Amino acid sequence: MVVWTACRVKFDEPLPPKGAEVTCVDTTCKWGVSAEMTFGPIVLLVAAILIFLGLAVWLGARIRRKRTARAAATQEFPAKWDRLLGSAFPLYRRIPTEVRDPLRRQMLAFMADKNFEACGGLEEVSDEMKLLVAVQACLLVWDDPRVPPYPELRSILFYPSTFRHSADLQFAADDEGVLLEEGSSPMLGESWDSGSVVLSWESVRRGGSNVEDGMNVVIHEFAHQLDQEAGSADGLPRLRTVAEHREWAEAFGAAWEKFTARVHHRRDLVLDPYGATNPAEFFAVASETFFEKARQLRESYPEVYEQLAHFYRLDPAEWRRIVT
Ligand SMILES: [Zn+2]
């Protein structure tokens, strides 16, 4: 028989094994019950309360974000923003009318929901900066019913130009946000599954203004965000059915083989060779190409074009050419 007192155990006795017979022998013990009866439920109750409070806070924040984003989406889209986008992001002029309205609503919700932060000596994040990211990010999810778009994403960090790579980094927060390690490769953008995207403003501006070179850092990083929503980034974003997964895997698997062989033989490429790094990069690079060199992608990799057209619910190869 295990002899143990509820009062003493508080100070110096180990807890009895679960299910052990317990007798209180301390005459000063006012509880007269086993530790399992005395402390177990209290600990469980405290844990349950903490979990409940945590969930309530999380749910409350989620609901507030939804309300804010929904309210923002009903606001009028300023005409001057349309003009600004028309010049800073020429692809905007090609987007079909039936896509533009839902796209604008997504942009308003996106801009109201995300934190935009200036880093690395950048003084502020202007409306133009927010707009240029919002339009390209939301183009990928223009008819996604989730509110706000990219629900797991909280922050977009802007650096003035390229910043240092942070793959094996020491992460340290300073007054301006994220401090990246010195001595590693310069980066144009990064997508984190912990709720942030980091961008070089110079690259965002250049990528937005040239929409026919197949290079677009915003589309690239937000394609990664969609990939990361489905778990680890592996080139397989969130799809709806098993059949869609199978078709995606077949199409991208075959295209990956063809593409990596072409890169190996230094053949003429439609896609940026950086896409040969791994399947996640292949998907991100194919997404850039899908919007900026749509006809070429459809010709060289029809199976990939078809999958992306279905995924993004868009057919940019059929959009009218830009009249300059
Ligand atoms: Zn990438």
Task: Determine contact, residues 222/191, Cβ cutoff 8 Å.
Answer: yes
CA 272 – ligand 1 centroid, Å: 11
- With 0-12 / 13-18 / 19 or more C-beta atoms within 10 angstroms meaning exposed / middle / buried, residue 316 is buried
| Nearest one of 244, 227, 201, 207 to 282, comparing CA atoms | 227
Q: How many residues does the chain have?
A: 324
Lowest-confidence region among 4-8, 72-76, 270-274, 301-305:
4-8
CA 183 – ligand 1 centroid, Å: 20
The predicted pLDDT at position 10 comes to 44
CA 219 – ligand 1 centroid, Å: 10
CA 193 – ligand 1 centroid, Å: 13
pLDDT-based confidence at residue 225 (cuts at 50, 70, 90)? very high
CA 197 – ligand 1 centroid, Å: 11
CA 277 – ligand 1 centroid, Å: 9
The predicted pLDDT at position 165 comes to 62
Describe the strand order of the beta sheet including 115-118 as a list of residue ranges.
115-118, 155-159, 196-200, 189-192
**Digit-coded pLDDT (tens) for 84-133:** 999 999 999 999 999 999 999 999 999 999 999 999 999 999 999 999 99
DSSP three-state, residue 153: coil
CA 283 – ligand 1 centroid, Å: 9
Does the pLDDT value for residue 309 go beyond 60?
A: yes
CA 282 – ligand 1 centroid, Å: 8
The predicted pLDDT at position 44 comes to 82
More confident: 155 or 18: 155
d(CA 131, CA 161) in angstroms, rounded, equals 18
Element spanning 286, H or E: helix 279-292
pLDDT-based confidence at residue 1 (cuts at 50, 70, 90)? very low
Does the pLDDT value for residue 266 go beyond 80?
A: yes
CA 27 – ligand 1 centroid, Å: 69
Name the DSSP class of 33: S
Long-range pairs for 127-130 at CB < 8 Å and ≥24 separation?
Answer: 127/81, 127/84, 128/84, 128/88, 129/158, 129/201, 129/204
Does the pLDDT value for residue 32 go beyond 70?
A: no
| Nearest one of 86, 56, 224, 63 to 153, comparing CA atoms | 224
pLDDT-based confidence at residue 244 (cuts at 50, 70, 90)? very high
More confident: 94 or 4: 94
Q: Where in the chain is the domain with CATH 3.40.390.10?
A: 75-318
CA 324 – ligand 1 centroid, Å: 31
Backbone angles phi, psi at 155, to 5 degrees: -135, 145
CA 191 – ligand 1 centroid, Å: 8
Note the maximum CA span of the chain. Answer: 94
| Nearest one of 163, 225, 167 to 191, comparing CA atoms | 225
Task: Determine contact, residues 279/252, Cβ cutoff 8 Å.
Answer: yes
CA-CA-CA-CA dihedral for 291, 254, 299, 307, to nearest 10? -40
CA 187 – ligand 1 centroid, Å: 10
Residue 247: CB partners within 8 Å, gap ≥ 6? 307
Instruction: Please name the amino acid found at residue 53.
Output: L
pTM over 0.75: yes
Task: Determine contact, residues 223/192, Cβ cutoff 8 Å.
Answer: no
CATH class of 75-318: alpha beta
